[in-house]
Amino acid sequence: MFNELKEIICAYVDINPEEITEDSRFIEDLGFTSYDFMSMVGELEDKYDIEVVEREVIQVKTVGDAVNYIQSLQE
């Protein structure tokens, strides 16, 4: 899932996939705006067939957080 997420991230921001780690913060390190982040979450909803709760997802800061959150919704 981490690799799939990297690919999706690169569609939103101009960054080398090799630079993305689990600790990369979406806004501070990867340059996402808050809107782009939420748009990407919407795309992840469809891709992984999950329903995200907005007030929970705003606590997601890093790529690792995102992977964990998606996996928790899939269980």
Partner 1 sequence: MELHTLQEIIRHGVETYGDQAAFRYKVKKSIEEKTYTQVYKDSMAFSRALEVLGKQGKHIALLGTTTYAWIISYFGTTNSAGTAVPIDAQLPAEAIWELLNRADVEMLVYDEIRADVAAGVREHCPQISCVVSMQAEQDSDVVLSFNQLLQNNQGNFFTQIQPDQLCTILFTSGTTGKSKGVMLSHRNLADNAISQDMKIPAGTVSMTLLPINHVYCLTMDIIKGLYTGITICINDSIMRVQKNLTIFQPEIILLVPMIIESLYAKLREAVNQAPENTPKEMIARAALGGRLKTICSGGAYLDPEYVDRFKEFGITILQGYGMTECSPVISSNLEWANKKGSVGKLMPNCQAKVVDDELWVKGSSVMLGYYKMPQETAETLEDGWLKTGDLGYVDEENYVYITGRKKNLIILANGENVSPEELENHLNRDERIKEILVRDKNGVIEAEIFPDMEYAQKAGISNIQEELQKVIDEFNAAMPVYKRIHHLVVRDSEFVKTTAKKIKRF
Instruction: Return contacts of 57-62, CB within 8 angstroms, 24+ apart.
Output: 60/26, 61/25, 61/26, 61/27, 62/22, 62/23, 62/24, 62/25, 62/26
The least distance separating partner 1 from the CB of residue 25, rounded to whole angstroms, comes to: 8
Our CB check for partner 1 shows the closer of 11 and 49 to be 11
Supply the minimum distance, in Å, between the C-beta of residue 22 and partner 1.
17
Per CB under 8 A, residues contacting partner 1 are: 11-12, 27-28, 33-36, 38-39, 41-43, 45-46, 52, 54-55, 57-59
